[in-house]
Structure 1
Amino acid sequence: MSIGSFIEVQPLPTTPKSRRNLGAIATNVDVNKLSDADFEVLRQALYTHQVVVLKGQAAATPKAQYELTKRFDPTSDSYGHGKTLDAKRSVLHPDLKTIPHQPQVQVIGNGFLEEFEGLKNITLKHPHHKTFHKTAIPDAEDLDFTRFYRWHIDAALYGLNPPKVTTLMAVKVPAGRTQTLRYDDGTGDEMSVPLGTTAFVSGYEMYDILSDEDKEFARTTKVQYAPHPYIWMSGAKSNSTGLGLVSEGLEIPKNELPEIEEDKICVLPMCWKNPLTGRLALQVHPSAVEKLILKDGSVVDDLIEVRRRVYELQRPGIAPDLVFSHDWEEGDFVLFNNQGVLHSVVGAFAPEEVRVFRQCNLAASEAPLAP
């Protein structure tokens, strides 16, 4: 606790079966009325614990959500995915609706709403792995079993810097059941998850568990992302773990993408430095990767090899005992360090199960800190 603030921050408990060091709960918070001292407590908590759950925030307004998100990067303003949502071919297009009176805040979820924050007669669609994965869980098992949909960083990865922070506000949450999440990659890995959880893994832990050789590779390698990546990947399918794509030559050809501006192509280091602790996170959006630029300047542009190498580096970091799957309650307001964690949508809903969330992130005013 910091002088001038009554906010209490407690790390989330772990279990004997968990290696996870990720997440905290903050109490005595009012998102609508945050002092400078309150914000500093939340900032330190975020960069220490990476995911911070603020309980009991049902009254938090979209304006307050935007203002808190912006406070982490005061000169940022544009939505983190830019104009991606307007592109009909983008894999993100069906998933998000924009709040008219606060356009930096998006609505995500599942089910029909007659009215919400100025939106009328909208149908929200929770992403389902069968629309994106190469293989799928059989329909008969759909309500009992699920997968990670897509491990990712919130970022346009074309013309804009990755947002520093994403905020998620749970407005309506279906209650009751759990699902068994299967990796379906031959390892036998699985875990029990709450319905509609958001899954997080730490990029810092993902880096820390690498061999010394792989750490050196990660520290000295840059990633080049595909131009208009969410359109480029729209014809391809994901691995069953939700970690990267299967290489079948189904990416949209460059000559069929919107006009490509070379100076907007995104090249970022594999590792990003925590601004508070200095720790390094292995931060790669595995589905959007196109090329690797090595320490000596040579370029790996064989997409099969690029994806294989990134998968080998990231797969240990999504092991079940490293995943934090948040059990959402209505009024939960979650901050996460978008430059230090990967996250994934999870779950399969019945049509009558309504889920309503608000999301906000803003393209950063500067590139992530390099090693």
Structure 2
Amino acid sequence: MDKYGIEFIEIAEKKEKPQSDKMAFGKHFTDHMFVMEYEKDKGWHSPKIIPNEPILIDPAAMVFHYGQAVFEGLKAYRTEDNRILLFRPEKNFNRLNVSDERMCIPYIDVDLAVHALKELVKVDSEWVPDAPNTSLYIRPFVIATEAALGVHPSHNFKFMIIMSPVGPYYAVKGLEPVQIFVEDEYVRAVRGGIGFTKSSANYAISLKGQQKAIERGFAQVLWLDGIERKYIEEVGTMNVFFKINGELVTPELSGSILPGVTRDSVIALAKSWGMTVTERKISIDELFEAHEKGILEEAFGSGTAAVISPVGKFVMGDKEIIINNGKTGEFSQKVYDTLTGIQYGRIKDEFGWTVEVK
């Protein structure tokens, strides 16, 4: 055991690793996973790194019936000199605790969580791919495991970390703009709800709008606020940014928008470059008007999976706008190149964001 009492049980036979060109997102999983239990009278206990295998859980476990579950997403990157870097992991675990608090899940010690993650990545370091722009996707999550059908917060929980090697998000043509459908029928979240958390329910409620957009030939859906149905919130599972007349504008964190780690990083980068960054309400009408005036220069989503996803077109009803002639903007490309450069160790990290696993 180590200083946090993490027990290590090694897998008997290691699995075959997928080829770099066959690493579909979230389809292949590493040899080991981290597991820690919570009981009301004992707190969090029994941290272990064990073989990645199915878990035994009671059919009455409250996660199945009342949706008490939260998760996070981050990555490990292999550098050209064969180091392994994590990107702002403490930020993800702090945000996990924000989700925990809202979903009545006990606080998890951030130092322990980061340490456990580093130990898990070390154990399965061979799974961190070395092909260009590949990475190891990391999924920490918590589920309610108490077997009870009464509606109340669970007394038992399981905290787990699983990992999956993933290929490059932009595998063929590089950073390519996507077409976005503006959703005006369904809503994703409202202030006072769980829109600011990474709870499983928050994502389940977005599936219908996403399905609708895909059926109509769009890559993502742009969500509007759930009350007035006019203020922009998020793009699919990403935060969204607009470059308007030289200024970077993003929806403010009003309680229904996820405070993205990549979002925070984009804002910090832009400010370090001397750019004006404004977090405020921005309506869909204002966006279309900015396009009509010729001052909507770029738009892009930000998130762990894609880092930056440029937007080439927005469609709402019978109206559509094409941004930057449907091409990736200079600023979007610069942000993508800088963030990925820091993540893969190609660019000096001036912000102290990367954590080496060693």
Per the shorter chain, which TM-score range? under 0.3
Instruction: Give the number of the structure whose alpha-carbon radius of gyration is greater.
Output: 2
- The normalised TM-score by structure 1 is 0.26
Higher RCO, 1 or 2 (CA under 8 Å, sep at least 6)? 1
